[in-house]
Amino acid sequence: MFTGVFYHPSFSRRSYLTQGTRLMDFPDAFAEIESPRLRIIESPPVDEMLLLKVHTEEHIERVKMDHLCSTAWHSAGGVVKAAEMVYNGELRNAFCYIGAGGHHAGRNYFWGYCCFNDVILAVQNLYDKYGEVKVAVIDTDAHHGDGTRELIELLDFKVLHFCICSTNHVSDDGLKIDVSYFDYSYREAVEMFFEKCLKFQPELVFWYFGHDTHVGDYGDTGLTVDDYVEMAFKIKQLSEEVCKGKLVVVLGGGSDPEIARNSTLAIIKVLLNLQ
């Protein structure tokens, strides 16, 4: 089975997060990974009819007017395509590079370097094509996925949404959970997610990964590439136990190109069983 890596050349030329510098080493960096099971797939643009099921027309027009959102269509489209290919068995798992983020994009607003909510668009696409698919999302970006949380509630998706951020919260239905990195280690938080997933039994797992949490990056929570590799092993193990390994990793926040290169390639190697 293949691991899909979704990427578009525009992500290295221009990015909402860093205007091109974060992924400056790509696509050449992919040459570091030698595996017959690796497939580099060019991210397609997201369909506008799908966008209208998640965002308002006004939101879409504002994104069109923001020149820093020029990569948003291919960013979201890659995540939508990856989730569908993993869910239907064309890929074992996937890693999605992006030029513009997703988890701060709500129904009618966007901020924090996010334009379209890539994960929610992917879930909507799965619902449209396969019916109600049980999905779990773990968000380890330094900041809370407020747009994702809002859209899950507005669209009434049956999604386990687990954020490791700066606050603690559990919704009445037990499916919307925030765990504070001030009170728990990331290892403890991922273990909590593991336990919730074993009970929830998702059919697909998303990991919204931000290297902004790395030492020296703008959301520094003290993590290193070694910590990301440990999380990758654990989340991959979880997906294998609950949903036949169906895991989609989506790049979130972060600005340092060296950290971007080292962390994302390390996670891809875990997905390929090369670590």
| CA atoms lying within 13 Å on the CB side of residue 156 | 0
Q: What is the pLDDT along the chain (275 residues), one digit of tens a residue?
A: 899 999 999 999 876 666 568 999 999 999 999 999 999 999 999 999 999 999 999 999 999 999 889 999 999 999 999 999 999 999 999 999 999 999 999 999 999 999 999 999 999 999 999 999 999 999 999 999 999 999 999 999 999 999 999 999 999 999 999 999 999 999 999 999 999 999 999 999 999 999 999 999 999 999 999 999 999 999 999 999 999 999 999 999 999 999 999 999 999 999 999 97
Please report the pLDDT score of residue 66 as a whole number. Answer: 92
Q: Indicate the pTM of the whole model.
A: 0.98
Q: Compute φ and ψ for 165, nearest 5 degrees.
A: -145, -145
Distance of CA 140 to the CA centre of its chain: 9
Please report the pLDDT score of residue 145 as a whole number. Answer: 97
| b/e code 207-221 from CB counts within 10 Å (16+ = b) | bbbbbbbbeebebeb
The highest-level CATH class for domain 3-271 is alpha beta
User: What 8-state DSSP symbol labels residue 248?
Assistant: E
| Every domain of the chain and the residues it spans | 3-271
